[in-house]
Structure 1
Amino acid sequence: MLTADIPTRAQLVRRAAEVAPLLRENAPKAEDAGRLQDETIEALAGAGVFRLRVPKRYGGYEADTRTLVDVATELARGDGAAAWTASVYWIPTFMTCLFPDSVQDEVFATPDVRVCGTLSPSARATPVEGGIVVNGRWSFVSGAPHAHWQEVIAAQEMAHGQHLPLMALVPMDQLEIVDDWDTSGLRGTGSVSTVAKDVFIPQERVLPLPAVLTGQYASQLNADSPVYRAPLLPVAAASSVGTAVGLARAAQDVFFERLPDRTLTYTWYAKQAEAPLTHLQASEAVLKADQAEFHAHRLADLVDSKGLSGEEWTVLERARARADMGAAVRLAKEAVDIFASASGGSSVYRDVPIQRITRDIQAMSLHALMNPNTNAELYGRVLCGQQPNTLYI
């Protein structure tokens, strides 16, 4: 068992802020390469970012979700792709902590281990002696190029045409990586596809997804930890939402950096900062970023407080967790859009970060789990007394 000094939230956030300038410098290169730079990965590891969701007994920090939100916010002020990749690693790392403790011993034997993953059951699982054999393909696997393991979902055919989705862990060297990531936004995340061809997975590295979604976890040593007894979907929501807040703050940073030297062409204003229109735009955008941060923090505080109390989650609380995530993404995108529209024609040049920030938040808002409209509709259903129309709650 390892022991480590556990940094405070403030220390971890400060470390993230200190690496943000490097992330910002490397962001154009990551966009061109379609993956993060090795230097960026090393900097994130040095800041302890990959240890945030690792149990303390393996030298991890076992951080709460409020810490994840604030760290991701600072990372995204440097580069949304780097923050998104870190956030995506946090979720499968949390999921790894739900497996039997012997499985965790295997995964966390690698220092600063990186686990990528997905919740989409786009592969087939066939039962065999001692485990399952998996065949299939998963898309949008962020961070796969730098990952050591992948958490996968595969469907096992059952009686009467039913299918049981299974969650499993696979070493990356047993999967094929298909470099098909050519997108307009979040280009630096390396969200490629991965392929399994007759991959055997031992039974101890397999869990039924419905059991996981209802809080039936297999770890004994993590059972009493407030961090690891929270439901998966609220945890996933809180783990990823900080990137949206950070992108809004990044747009705010870039806008005000450029503002002193900008004019308003074809107007009488000598400086853009003198125009009442600019005052209204700046005020509205910053307030929207503030509101996005409120929803992100309310979500994280709900996850953390329920974890500490051990109280059962209500359906309404689960739905609100996704609604807070969707609201944060919507408000962050609205803030970015205002800053972008106020940035003038020169902002379309690739060396002006606002254009990349705009594309990144657009891509993030289209993610199936983060889509503001989908999450608002789910929350509205539950508020109106209807049952959720998804298992992902």
Structure 2
Amino acid sequence: MANTDVPARAELAERAEKLVPLLRQRAEWTDENRRLPEETIEALTEAGLLKLRVPRRYGGFEADTGTVVDVLSELARGDGSTSWTAAVWAISSWVVGLFPDEVQDEVFATPNVRVCGILSPTAVAAPADGGVVVNGQWTFNTAAQQSHWNTNAAVRPTPDGGFEPVMLVIPVSDLRIVDDWHTTGMRGSGSVTTVAENVFVPAERILPMGPVLNQQYASTLNANSPHYRSPFLPMACATVGATALGLAKAANEVFFDRLAGRKITYTSYENQSEAPLTHLQVAEAAVRIDEAGFHAYRAADLIDTKATAGEPWTLAERGRARLDLGATVQRAKEAVDILKTASGGSSVYHTVPIQRIDRDIHVLSLHAVMHPNTNLELYGRILCGLEPNTHYI
């Protein structure tokens, strides 16, 4: 175990940018095969982009949130599924850093370890000698087939007859994979179902979720790192919002790639770029992309500023992180929809990237934590003086 020199923010963004042509070249294969190509994983690894949220003592970068948004939005310019998968690996690596230090030693002992993660407690952890025995399943488990460890969640019985949610760290090899990821979008993320059947999890790899959501973490060695002064949900929200932002940028680029020489069928416009309608469409899309970027980076800046200063979070700030995620997704989706509409009938072919980008952003917008309407309502409740109707804030 050793510390490592951390590349500058601009360098990490540049490394991601250099992968964009490669990711675009492989995007159709990724979509059709419902997982990342091994060559893509190798490229991410060689670029050091799987180390963003790994503690420095294991050779990681402990990158700030602004850097993470830079990197993931660049990857999404190449392929949405690759960006989303990298986001999940980054979040889950960070989550491992909340566990006792001996657990981190175990997980990060694997070079270039890939950790996937699930937050929904859809399994039961029955108390057993030295830990718990877990039974249940988790759907939407991104890249489980291409990961080494899984941070997931279950409910554990309490002495009063109730249940408490807990977070777990489990080797993926202990889980059964159900290859059911047949979807309209984000197909390359391989977000399959995983099943636990009498899986024993030792006590040190269990954390009560309540304290975690309230920034009470178990690691001693990470306790003084600004990297671990952020609440879990705002950090995760800022991370995944970057994929939506990058998809909107990708839609804009691929639209202009096809614009030259295109006419508008059944009109007198021999060149689409000369039509006032096109001018309105690209301008409206540009505004929405800028607005998506504003919300994505506002959330990142708040996380990084408060982490550096060691300042506590207010309920309103936590709610605004959810709002910023919802607004990022909403504005990105609107931009993609405008550009898709302007792309014409020939854009429906699988070889035209705009159709895949449109499917990807649509699926992202339906994610329970990313849904614009859910996040707007949550923030509106807080503005009106009501308690949030969720623990995930």
Distance (whole Å) between structure 1 residues aligned to residue 226 and residue 63 of structure 2: 10
1:190 matched to which residue of 2?
190
1:130 matched to which residue of 2?
130
Distance (whole Å) between structure 2 residues aligned to residue 324 and residue 25 of structure 1: 31
Alignment of 1:196-275 (within 5 A): 196-275=196-275
What is the root-mean-square deviation of aligned Cα atoms in Å?
A: 0.8
Q: Which runs of 4+ in 1 moved over 4 A?
A: none
1:358 equivalenced with 2:369 (yes/no): no
Q: Shift of the alpha carbon at 1:159?
A: 4.0
AA matched with 1:364: L
AA matched with 1:244: A
Distance (whole Å) between structure 1 residues aligned to residue 387 and residue 317 of structure 2: 13
1:329 matched to which residue of 2?
329
Aligned residues: 393
User: 89-98 or 346-355, which moves further after superposition?
Assistant: 89-98
Distance (whole Å) between structure 1 residues aligned to residue 141 and residue 377 of structure 2: 26
1:310 matched to which residue of 2?
310
Distance (whole Å) between structure 2 residues aligned to residue 295 and residue 96 of structure 1: 27
User: 108-117 or 332-341, which moves further after superposition?
Assistant: 108-117
Distance (whole Å) between structure 1 residues aligned to residue 138 and residue 304 of structure 2: 31
AA matched with 2:336: V
2:387 matched to which residue of 1?
387
Structure 1 spans left out of the alignment, 5+ residues: none
Distance (whole Å) between structure 2 residues aligned to residue 380 and residue 95 of structure 1: 29
Distance (whole Å) between structure 2 residues aligned to residue 161 and residue 117 of structure 1: 28
1:100 equivalenced with 2:100 (yes/no): yes
Distance (whole Å) between structure 2 residues aligned to residue 338 and residue 288 of structure 1: 10
2:298 matched to which residue of 1?
298
1:157 equivalenced with 2:151 (yes/no): no
AA matched with 2:155: A
Q: Show CA shifts across 1:179-216 (max 9, x none).
A: 00000000000000001111001100100000100111
2:23 matched to which residue of 1?
23
Query: What is the DSSP-based 3-state SS (H/G/I as helix, E as strand, rest coil) of the residue aligned with 1:312?
Result: coil
AA matched with 1:14: E
2:73 matched to which residue of 1?
73
Alignment of 1:32-43 (within 5 A): 32-43=32-43
Q: Show CA shifts across 1:283-335 (max 9, x none).
A: 00011001100100000001111111111100000000000000000000000
1:63 matched to which residue of 2?
63
Distance (whole Å) between structure 1 residues aligned to residue 310 and residue 177 of structure 2: 40
Q: Shift of the alpha carbon at 1:261?
A: 2.1
TM-score, reference length from structure 2: 0.99
Q: Shift of the alpha carbon at 1:3?
A: 2.8
Query: What is the DSSP-based 3-state SS (H/G/I as helix, E as strand, rest coil) of the residue aligned with 2:226?
Result: coil
Distance (whole Å) between structure 2 residues aligned to residue 159 and residue 174 of structure 1: 28
1:142 matched to which residue of 2?
142
Q: Percent identity?
A: 59
1:172 equivalenced with 2:172 (yes/no): yes
Distance (whole Å) between structure 2 residues aligned to residue 31 and residue 205 of structure 1: 34
TM-score, reference length from structure 1: 0.99
AA matched with 1:318: R
Q: Shift of the alpha carbon at 1:160?
A: 4.4
AA matched with 2:179: D
Distance (whole Å) between structure 2 residues aligned to residue 235 and residue 145 of structure 1: 25
